[in-house]
Structure 1
Amino acid sequence: MRARYLAWSAVAAASLVVSLAVPGGARAPAAAAVPAACDPTGTAPVYRGKVPSPKQVLGFELGERQATAAESDRYLETVAAKSERVVSGTLATTAQGRPLKYAVVGRPELVSRAGLAKVRRDAGRLRDPRTPDALAERLAERGVPILWVSGNVHGDEPSGTDAALKVLRDLGDRTDCAAANVLANALVVILPMQNPDGRELNTRQNAYGFDMNRDWFARTQPETDGKLAMLNQYPPALYIDAHEMGGKSYFFPPNADPIYHETPEQAVHWINDVYGTAMAAEFTRQGIDYFNRNTYDLFYQGYGDSVPTTAFHAAGMTFEKGDNSPYPERVKEHYLTQWVSLSAAARNRRRILTEWHQMAVDAYKQGQAGTLEPNQIYNPPNQIERPVPGRKVREYFLRDDDPAKRTEVRTIVRRLQRMGVRVERLVRPLTVPDFKAYGRPEGRATLPAGTYLISMAQGQKHWIQAMLNEDSYTPFPYFYDVTAWSMPLLGNVSGGSSGAVLRPVAVPVRTLPAPRPGHEGRAPRIGVLRLSATSSARQSVGWLRHRFDREWKLPYTLLTPEDIAAGKLAGTRVLLVPNGPVPDAYTALGDAGRSALRTWTRDGGRYVGWQGGTQLAARLGLTTATLADPTSDIPGTLFRVKVDGASPLAKGVGRTAWNFTSYDPVMRASSGVVASYPAVDSADWSVSGFEKGAAELGGTAAVVDQPVGRGRSVLFAAEPNFRAFSDGTAKLLYNAILGPDPARSAVPPAAATADAARRAAALPSYEAPIRVSVRAADAAKAAAVLRSVGARWAESRAGDVVHYVVDNPRGLPADHHPFAGRLPSLIREAGIDPVAVTLP
């Protein structure tokens, strides 16, 4: 980071009065009020001319065309070099070697080394619930909130970047009262481009196939990890995340239901009533089409709006502009929402800082009392279908007495610590009268010394609950993403919670180091078969590549169906076949490729597949496991499965694991079952997240390992490496790659494999489908809604529930699909109380 000490211009000095203690200890007066007549958008910009225009640097004005990643970086660095109000730096480096550039903008004394240190220190004090009231009041009177503007987390949604650069130029050079208002009352961090690789590739995901707007809590990608590290240095009171969607309209909050129950209520008030109201007034005044309270929820704790809100008590907001509009219009409207939001925050500076501190105090008091926030509905006539239980939660515990789980446990602890969560460790055993182990009934337990203790009596109470919860308590059956993400369940580690008032003997834990990458033993020659170039295959293969390259350090060869047909499988010992559409891959393999796969496996190859890879194995006659299309609604949910301890896949896993499932095929097998769903009425049956009709999974297989000639097929019904953060089942996958062969068993009869192949061939193939499930009484109305938008669907019935599945062959996310985003409101307007609405 470079600090600049150039002279503050006379015009700007007259407009801006220092509101923070200056270096050297002298205290400056509080910021002068900007005249009420200063209209943030109606004031004519006045530029000093120190910062060259985009055209002078790039040869075009921002918005005339999309700036490249390199052009964005060049203009950001030019502004930083020319303006004493701006310092710049690099958050991270992408897989393809591109820098993630940011700029910090403020008055010169704020962006000096000492000024920035003081802003960070004061922000830390305001986030600390233990800060005395008198000191917090002084900080709120004289301090500044930190406001973030970011864009382009999805690489094919570019206009937020160009808009953010316009904001950077204006704050770096303008002297009029509208710019002065922001500069006098805020420090602004601008991250124009969160996904430069995706921008250059014109893909939604990054170079590893990750949707980085789903990666915020796990931080698997360096782009996300660097951003979160910076956010913890400069914690936001406002976080803007600029996107694009289909159509021509504009979305800004208020959000759609559901909203996660631990989202701070005061932050929701800011989002809806401070920023949402200001933007609605400006868009109405200018006659710009917009909508809100639809499509975009605030539930999954991995988004660029939900994580800033829950973890930092910020107003985290997603802005979406329709990509059918001309590019200049997209940039203009993103600039407008960014400028209006920054201006509103500046106008409410003291109130925001006061309430920001109060949120931390309230969170601490809730944690001390063991009170969880209730579920709420923000958009009637929606109704809460599942309330948050009334059980008190004062502490969470993570056990560390299983050496095989140590890496997973410490990964969770480190993630918590790096988000400002205090973690302690028991010095002596602790008897807990109401210990509730994950997925088990409450009971008395004695936890050993060395167990990690996370008290809820912290300013980060909301984030602790979001990360360590047993269940997300989905309030409303609309799903834009997954419904379960508990880190202990994803890691398959032992732990639980208590609501009792305890007196533990514990010591604080220093921030743990990152796990050392690598694998055990000698690696076999590995091939990875990518079934297609579609989104589902790109993501599943990308998640695996991340594990191989960055964590397990396993070399591999990427193959296509055409490569298999051409004989390039020779020499491979283990072939991994991730998810993807099977019919196209089956056709692309041709007779030669299909024969090569069968022969290779029977001659001693190890075929490891999941989802589409499992279906392909069944079609090729490599298993007797049968697959059936699900009749339940499971839109991204964690289920406990039993694990066969005699299997080589079970090493370090334990007798149970938590399996992430999302509308995956139901797999049945009479032999070779490694992991299976318990009977629904057994003590082992446990679910985290939403499900309707999941009883069909009871007693079925999650993972099978069967002989195929001298080889074997290891097949997972669901993705074992979901977003590279389902560490518990990823260990099953790791063992499937590197572990020994099981004891030999009889090769299954040909008739059984033929039956499995026939059933697999009959399975439907969907790419990112839209799913609507309603009760039979509402079926006619639901079909009418689907017809009204021109949908074509497959229909099935299970008991009293009718399921509609709309294929989405281009893999479009809901907000880019022609009608998917409108379905929830259309269903509501039709008077339907849905069982589930699941959008891609």
Structure 2
Amino acid sequence: MRARKLALPLVMAASLAVPAALAAPAVARPQAAPSGCDPTQTAPVYRGKVPSPKQVLGFELGERQATAAESDRYLETVAAKSERVLSGTLARTAQGRPLNYAIAGRPELLSKAGLAKVRLEAGLLRDPRTPDALAKRITARGVPILWVSGNVHGNEPSGTDAALRVLRDLGDRSDCAATSILDNALVIVLPTQNPDGREADTRQNAYGFDMNRDWFARTQPETDGKLEMLNEYPPALYIDAHEMGGTSYFFPPNADPIYHETPEQAVGWINDLYGAAMATEFTRQGIDFFNRDVYDLFYQGYGDSVPTSAFHAAGMTFEKGGDSPYPERVKEQYLTQWVTLSAAARDRHRILGEWRQMTVDAYTQGKAGKLEPNQIYNPPNQIDRPVPDRPVRSYFLRDDDPSKRDEVRTIVRRLQRMGVDVKRLVRPLTVPDFKAYGHPEAKTTLPSGTYWISMAQGQKHWIQAMLNEDSYTPFPYFYDVTAWSLPLLGNVSGGSSGAVLHPRAVPVRTPPAPRPGHDGRAPKIGILQLSAASSAARQSAGWLRHRLDRDWKLPFTPLTPADVAAGKLAGVEVLLTPDGPAKPAHDALGATGRAALQQWTRDGGRYVGWQGGTELAALLGLTTATLSEPTSDIPGTLFRVQVDGTSPLAAGVGATAWNFTSYDPVMKASSGVVVSYPETDSPGWFVSGFERGASELGGTAAVVDQPVGAGRSVLFAAEPNFRAFTDGTAKLLYNAILGRDPSKATAPQAGATAEAARQAAALPSYESPIRVSVKAADAAKAASILRSAGATWAESRGGGVVHYVIDNPRGLPTDHHPFAGRLPSLIRRAGIHPVAVTLP
């Protein structure tokens, strides 16, 4: 059946009365799966209505990788030929390619009325106000919504071909294994989440984003459209099919850490229902697999963690070793998808009942102000940091600073678009225990207009995940970042309370997205990408291109070191130099390019750089700021920093900001410091996320702004535009591009710039390194582990800790690295409790 995406919103309960559509069944009740119908050992029986892949594409799925266009063609063919399938487009990529999906189910469910009923029932189950009697009737005859998705990383293709095989089987098979799924579920198949990356054979999309990190921020059209549809068709199961290095297969249970607001019923499904079913089948067939290792469930931006926290689904990452032959990869991806769908269909009643119960439990916890505790799921791991006992019943976002209005409304919009109820105070409210972000509790009167988010909601887990002051990392293993609080990322004022409050507040409409654009005259901008090969350079430049294109509407000219040497800086007024390998770029510039860049800056150019771009500026003598390699462990953490209000960079920022830091160089400067870290013993020092040894940052510079002849260098130690969601520090970058020059500035001395260049030249050059830190007493065992894995490393010691840094010159992510993923389990088996293990 062919249809465009239905533009109907998710229908929530308008009242507690039983809707007429649910008073009696509108369609036949689903049938239980026949006993003895094995999902994998039942011989497939095809009706012949749907042509085979070979008839449509000229090859069977798995013989070779289908292109994005071929995937779309076969999906549309199945939808056109089968009354059990309809299709649509949920988004278009930056390059204009469609994200096509299919919905498979009993034909009566795929009518306009049938789909509306499924959405209505899902909405009622997700609403804690729904009467129990009505919820029980829905769980008795309703169907769960199950999602199968693949290829969020464009160079991990096999999940797409497997999902198309699943779709064909649901559309055409008549045997009991297929009909039991169709009778007991509605299945949504999204074969490729990243068609631009699939066509380019790149992990990231066209803007250089790893879209398996973009789920809460929704900066990319692919992610935004996907989540829009997930809210229309909320999942009880979300499969995210990936590939990794090697030949084995990973499926959950997951590694520690698992985010504390992960509902226990969902963990039970993941581990004991789906994980157990797959383990049984893989064992029966003698297929190699592993679990409880490498892949955690912590960062709230993944394709498994967000469906779990936000939708109470079983969000699961599947990883097949990409070194296996392609037919094997597709076969095993298909196997996990089919076994999991079959298990969900078999336990339909349990799933709907527990899906409903998670919403009720979340509401009850939120009303009581109870946060879920940290837990360890894989002994002998230990909890390093418990979740505080302090109750949290409400969050507040202040809206009394006009310069932060867009950032505040962006947060409100993100919450509401995920089903969170947000209200606004119509009168001032005195809160006895208000805990402003990064400050102790204090009696505070919040003004009218403040946004109020009660935790007494079915979305309590998601509210905590998005508005937390800290993620309370339980275990020092980091597959990704450890801080992502929306108010801190946006640098807006707010906080929480555990008091029982009865504010006068009214619901608010979802704010529109901020209008893109900029204030003032746009200078001629160049972006100097330091390397085409470096993953760090591609991502940092891609995040920047997205910000300039989509948010600020600032045109730019992309440049390479060779372009600079060829004289293409002529006419450029602001040169933006994102992260990347500085020393190779310094060499690639050559004497001609280096001289041209130095002269351009001295003649009035504005050089704005960060991370590798800052290091390059120091190598070129464009700053007196010195850089040194960090000795701390900071895997992706938010630090409160002080902002000099007299600087042009401070416009609309405020006295403080939240700086995202991840093993960035420590920067010191005696002049031109615009943003700095507070002293560690001062009230201003506050950290959200994991850190060990971060006191080395106390009193150092985060941003410097210094004159260079008639020009200027503005340098950030860390990434100000991380994944295009650090909106607070992105405003500093915006001001660096469009703001005026400082009114007073002292020219740097040649001796000071030479010292800065010397120290920059002494910095090590790492590409996406692996970092392991252990107590000195465990150093010998740790070194033995690294040797056994085949690693070579740089080693440093300090404060009773030994730090190992293993270079990763190809920039491989953990799941494609030959040994990175094995290190946590090797360390655990050696009896080492690490200080930190940070994987790329």
TM-score by length of 2: 0.97
What secondary structure, in the 3-state scheme, does the structure 2 residue paired with 1:109 have?
helix
- Point out where structure 2 has 5 or more consecutive residues left out of the alignment: 5-18
Question: Where in structure 2 are the equivalents of 1:460-499 lying within 5 Å?
Answer: 460-499=459-498
Contact 2:27 2:108 in 1 (8 A): no
2:555 is equivalent to residue 555 of structure 1 = yes
> Which amino acid is the alignment partner of residue 406 of structure 2?
T
* Secondary structure of the structure 2 residue equivalent to 1:635: coil
Cross-structure match for 2:275 = 276
How far apart, CA to CA, are the structure 1 residues paired with 2:340 and 2:187? 12
Distance 1:90 1:229 in 2: 12
For the residue of structure 1 that corresponds to 2:623, the secondary structure is coil
Matches within 5 A, 1:134-533: 134-533=133-532
Q: Kindly tell me: are residues 168 and 29 of structure 1, through their superposed partners in 2, closer, same or farther at Cα, counting changes over 3 Å?
A: closer
Amino acid at match of 1:117: A
Q: Which residue of the partner structure matches residue 753 of structure 1?
A: 753
State the AA in 1 paired with 2:209: F
**Residues 23 and 115 of structure 1 are in contact (CA less than 8 Å); yes or no, is this contact kept in structure 2?**
no
Q: Matches of 1:358 and 1:315 in 2, distance apart? A: 14
Q: Secondary structure at the match of 1:110?
A: helix
- For 2:25 and 2:407, locate their aligned partners in 1 and report how far apart those are by CA, in whole Å: 49
- Counterparts of 1:521-670 in structure 2, within 5 Å, are 521-533=520-532, 534-670=534-670
Give the deviation of 1:563 after TM superposition.
Answer: 0.2
Identical positions, percent: 82
- CA offset at residue 267 of structure 1? 0.3
Per-residue deviation at 1:22?
9.0
In the alignment, the residues of structure 2 paired with residue 35 and residue 731 of structure 1 have an alpha-carbon distance, to the nearest angstrom, of 60
SS state at 2:547 partner? helix
Amino acid in the other structure paired with 1:94? T
1:567–1:292 distance in 2 versus 1, CA, 3 Å: same
Q: Distance in 2 between matches of 1:132 and 1:106?
A: 28
Asked if the contact 2:321/2:329 (under 8 Å) is kept, the reply is yes
Counterpart of 1:406 in 2: which secondary structure? helix
- Deviation of 1:510 after TM superposition, in Å, equals 1.1
Question: Does the 8 A contact of 1:526 with 1:557 survive in 2?
Answer: yes
CA distance in 1: counterparts of 2:2 and 2:425, whole angstroms:
43
Quote the offset at 1:26 in angstroms: 5.4
Please give the secondary structure, in 1, of the residue aligned with 2:420. Answer: coil
Cα separation, 2, equivalents of 1:462 and 1:637: 21
Secondary structure at the counterpart of residue 634 of structure 1: coil
Residues in 2 aligned to 1:106 and 1:320: alpha-carbon distance in whole angstroms:
27
AA aligned opposite 1:792: T
- Give 1:241's aligned amino acid: D
Could you tell me how far apart the structure 2 residues matched to 1:625 and 1:583 are?
Answer: 17
For the residues of structure 1 that align with 2:160 and 2:214, how far apart are their CA atoms? 20
Checking the alignment, whether the CA contact within 8 Å between 2:2 and 2:80 is kept in structure 1 is no
Q: How much does 1:744 deviate? A: 3.2
SS at match of 1:737: helix
> How far does the alpha carbon of each residue in 1:741-767 deviate from its partner, in whole angstroms, 9 at most, with x for none?
001322111000000000001100100
- Note the alpha carbon deviations across 1:766-786, whole angstroms, 9 max, x for none: 000000000111001000000
Give the conservation status (yes or no) of the 8 Å contact 1:21–1:27.
no
Mapped partners of 2:679, 2:30: distance in 1: 65
Deviation, structure 1 residue 24: 12
Distance 1:26 1:347, change over 3 A: closer
Tell whether 2:740 aligns with 1:743. Answer: no
Partner Cα distance (2:684, 2:203) in 1: 39
Partner of 1:727: 727
Q: 1:817 to 1:26 in 2, by over 3 A?
A: closer
- Alpha-carbon distance change, 839 to 26 in structure 1, aligned in 2, over 3 angstroms: closer
Specify the SS of the correspondent of 1:674: strand
Describe the superposition over 1:562-604 as per-residue Cα deviations: whole angstroms up to 9, x where unpaired.
0000000011000000000111101100000100110000010
Distance in 2 between the 1:622 and 1:664 partners? 19
Q: Is the 8 A contact 1:431 1:444 kept in 2?
A: yes
Write out per-residue CA displacement over residues 222-267 of structure 1, whole angstroms, 9 at most, x where no aligned residue: 0000000000000000000000000000000000000000011110
Tell me how far apart the structure 2 counterparts of residues 519 and 745 of structure 1 sit (CA, whole Å).
27
* Aligned residues: CA RMSD: 1.2
- What amino acid maps onto 1:144 in structure 2? V
Cα drift, residue 217 of structure 1: 0.1
Alignment correspondent of 2:676: 676
Maintained 8 Å contact 1:3/1:112 = no
Q: How many angstroms apart in 2 are the aligned matches of 1:745 and 1:116?
A: 65
Which residue of the partner structure matches residue 703 of structure 1? Answer: 703
Tell me the alpha carbon deviations over residues 614-663 of structure 1, each in whole angstroms, 9 at most, x when there is no partner. 00000000000000000000000000000000000000000000000000
Count of aligned residue pairs for this structure pair: 825
Match of 2:636, SS?
strand
Q: Does the Cα contact within 8 Å between 1:21 and 1:28 map onto a contact in 2?
A: no
Contact map agreement 1:22 1:115 (CA 8 A) in 2: no
Amino acid at match of 2:687: V
- Between 160-169 and 33-42, the greater mean CA deviation after superposition: 33-42
- Give the distance between the partners of 1:613 and 1:425, measured in 2 at CA: 43
Q: Distance in 1 between matches of 2:681 and 2:184?
A: 59
Distance across 2 between alignment mates of 1:525 and 1:569: 10
Structure 2: distance between partners of 1:746 and 1:462: 51
Partners of 1:424 and 1:454 within 8 A in 2: yes
Provide, for residues 301-359 of structure 1, a one-character-per-residue CA deviation record: whole Å limited to 9, x for no partner: 00000000000000000000000000000000000000000000000001100000000
* Counterpart secondary structure, 1:796: strand
CA contact (8 A) 2:31 2:184 kept: no
Match of 2:15 in 1: none
| Contact preservation (8 Å) 1:86, 1:111 | yes
Q: Deviations over 1:480-538 (max 9, x none)?
A: 00000000000000000000001100000111111100000110000000000110000
**Contact kept in structure 2, 1:528 and 1:558, CA below 8 Å:** yes
The 3-state SS of whatever aligns with 1:753 is helix
- Confirm or deny: 8 A CA contact 2:2 2:76 kept in the other structure: no
Name the structure 1 match of 2:810: 810
* Residue 31 of structure 1: how far off its partner (Å): 2.4
Q: Which residue number corresponds to residue 689 of structure 2? A: 689
Deviation digits for residues 163-216 of structure 1 (CA, Å, limit 9, x no counterpart)? 000000000000000001000000000000000000000000000000000000
Alignment of 1:774-813 (within 5 A): 774-813=774-813
Tell me the CA shift for residue 33 of structure 1: 2.4
Counterpart of 1:803 in 2: which secondary structure?
Answer: strand
Q: Distance in 2 between matches of 1:21 and 1:779?
A: 68
- 1:96 aligns to what? 95
Equivalent AA in structure 1 for residue 274 of structure 2: Y
Shift of 1:612: 0.1
Aligned-residue offset at 1:34: 2.4
Query: Could you tell me whether the CA contact under 8 Å between 1:527 and 1:574 is conserved in 2?
Result: yes
Contact residue 34 and residue 180 of structure 2 kept, 8 A: no
